[in-house]
Amino acid sequence: MKAARPELLSTINKTQIFNLLRTTGPLSRAEISRALGISFPTVSANIMSMVEAGTVIESGSGENGLGRKSMLFKYNAKHGYVIGGDIGRNEIRIVLADLAGTVVNEIMIGLNNGMLTEKTLEELNRDIDQMLLKRRISPERILLVCIGVPYRIDSTSRANYLSLTSDNPENTRLDQYFEQKFGVDILVENSINLGAIGEKYYGAGRNFNDIFYIDFGVGIGSAMLLDGKPFCGHNGAAGEISYCITDTNRLRTVYSDDGILEELVAVTGKKLGLHLDSHNHIQEMKPAFDRALQNDRDAQEFLDLLARHFGVLLVNVTSLINPEVIIFSGRVGVNLLERYYNTFLRMLSAHVPFVPHLVPSVLRKKGNCLGAVSVAVEHLHKDYSVLEGTMEKIV
């Protein structure tokens, strides 16, 4: 068996030291040595290297009784920053955060008829520059960008979604814009998966590890975290709940990109007079809830039907993955939970042995961006050499 190269051992040690300081707080060399089982001289040498790089800073003296006080060292979350972005149907949201995932600032840019245009990009560029200037952060300190898109990551559609709408054949894509502006790697992730991750680290999922997350706004989607980790499936298609069959009378003979559940919502919603877009999605469900509150029987029957199908879906999901919690996001999802919470509990209690918590999203529209921040931060911290590589551009 070959011995590990000194460079590899140094990276492994630095990664352990860095993440210990990141999660535990200021520690002395001796405390780090004891916690990680690494020799004091090795800890000392690596700490000095990390202090020189700026990823670790001195943090005063420790209380160690008699004799000379030991120096404490802590993680420097302000050494670099990440950007989490999300492309929605009508807007782009951008969050700036430090290496601890603490949000520093956020901006929102409206989209022109849902399209990403050169004018949008100019406005985005101007607002990002102003945001960085306001916080006195140089562009060189942006170490990674993560962008959420509403498609499976293995789908070529995401490339089109990131592209500018323009007559120019040399279209600039949003990921390419960030890459050129900051000279860093760009991660592209499914926005609903990011929403689930955002809730896990910042919102309603903080106390849970097995999470099922439903996003019902214009379309219907979901994501799951099993043992705290995203599960995306073999083709990145796990969570496509709009394809679930909640009524055997609606079985198909041929495949369609429109899921059965979304088709049901569209067909019954159209009968109610709700407006559908070119993708056969209901643009706005609020009128149905408003009318139901005013005792409009048609609206009540429409929502009752939707709730029954969703109840069947919840029973099936719970029986398959046994989640600790189901988080409802999106305007329709949150309103459905509020209106039919007891109905869902009764259906679950009658059909599964372990009923999960049913809770609304805490983060709402910010969840996807915060999930993008979490993914970017974790990516930088999984291996100290990754962080070290991004820091080479910091003068």
pLDDT band at 277 (very low <50, low <70, confident <90, very high): confident
Give whole-number Cα distances, 56 to 20, 36, 135, 209, 374, in Å. 11, 17, 21, 30, 20
Q: Could you give the percent of the chain with pLDDT greater than 90?
A: 56
Name the average pLDDT for the chain.
87
Partners of 34 in the β-ladder: none
pLDDT score, position 1:
40
User: Does the pLDDT value for residue 159 go beyond 60?
Assistant: no
Helices (H) and strands (E) in the chain, counts: 13, 13
Structure tokens at 116: 């990403």
pLDDT score, position 2:
43
pLDDT score, position 3:
43
pLDDT band at 154 (very low <50, low <70, confident <90, very high): low
Buried b (16+ CB within 10 A) or exposed e, 286-300: ebbbebbeeeeeebb
pLDDT score, position 309:
94
pLDDT score, position 209:
96
Extended strands (E) in the chain: 27-28, 56-61, 71-75, 81-87, 91-98, 103-110, 142-149, 186-190, 211-216, 220-226, 229-231, 325-329, 357-360
pTM: 0.88
The larger pLDDT score, comparing residue 167 to residue 324, is at 324
Taking the C-alpha atoms of residue 82 and residue 375, their distance in angstroms, rounded to an integer, is 10
Fold of the domain spanning 81-193+369-393: Nucleotidyltransferase; domain 5 (3.30.420)
User: Does the pLDDT value for residue 132 go beyond 80?
Assistant: yes
For domain 208-361, the CATH class is alpha beta
Angle at the Cα of 37 from the Cα atoms of 376 and 375, rounded to 5 degrees: 10
User: Does the pLDDT value for residue 4 go beyond 60?
Assistant: no
pLDDT score, position 172:
66
Average pLDDT over residues 107-122: 83
User: Does the pLDDT value for residue 215 go beyond 50?
Assistant: yes
Cβ contact 307:285 at 8 Å? no
pLDDT digits (tens, 9 = 90+) for 249-270: 888 889 888 888 888 888 888 8
pLDDT digits (tens, 9 = 90+) for 171-208: 567 888 899 999 998 999 999 999 999 999 999 999 99
Average pLDDT over residues 333-359: 97
Cβ contact 239:211 at 8 Å? no
User: Does the pLDDT value for residue 15 go beyond 50?
Assistant: yes
Instruction: List, by residue range, all CATH 3.30.420.40 domains of the chain.
Output: 81-193+369-393, 208-361
Cβ contact 16:351 at 8 Å? no
> What phi, psi does 285 have (nearest 5°)?
-95, -10
What is the torsional sign of CA 277, 279, 283, 288?
A: positive
